[in-house]
Structure 1
Amino acid sequence: MSARPRLLPWSDPSGKPCYLVTDHHGYVSQVADEMEDVQLRTGTELLAIGREMLNENKVSAGELRFLGNRLCEALRDALRVAESRGKRLPEPEE
């Protein structure tokens, strides 16, 4: 059985997705695993910061715009991680 390509947690310079065909034990797989962990932790931290900011009454429109952009980036990363991990689940038996 051939390995399915793994969606990596980064894009090429033109924004296209990058894939890796691997047994999931090589160096690039390890780097991808570490980057996925960083991306998910960053999203969790941004969510906490966002909650704090939204509870404040003196947050500027620029600050909210900046937060919104970072949260969009974090959501994009989390969805890519979910897609990548979902594709690596074993096929269900019938």
Structure 2
Amino acid sequence: MPTPRRLPWTGPDGKPAYLLTDGTGPLSRLVDAVDAQQLDMAGRLLGHAADLLDDADTTSDQLRYLLTCMYDALTDVHRIAENRHAADR
């Protein structure tokens, strides 16, 4: 039975977009690939954050940029986690 899955992008009006799927179609595979890329980026940002925090010469502008990127990555990871939790119900 198809279930709604939130896509990693929004609709034209900026609202969340959903796909009714059984999880096996080409769009589902595309969403899986995007999710994997977003999770990989979050992991890379964590490594970059560790480097910047260890460097005494890191500037506030660098930290602000990192925090902006990490906010975006955490938003993506949160969406992925919510999708997976909803799929487990």
Normalised to the residue count of structure 1, the TM-score between the two structures is 0.88
What secondary structure sits across from 1:5 in the alignment?
strand
The alignment's C-alpha RMSD in Å is 1.1
Runs in 1 of length 4+ with deviation above 3 angstroms? none
Mapped partners of 2:33, 2:60: distance in 1: 34
1:72 corresponds to which residue?
71
2:85 corresponds to which residue?
86
Gaps of 5+ in 2: none
1:8–1:84 Cα contact (<8 Å) kept: no
2:43 corresponds to which residue?
44
Query: How many Å apart are 1:45 and its aligned residue?
Result: 0.3
Q: Which has the higher helix share?
A: 2
Compare CA radii of gyration and give the structure with the larger one: 1
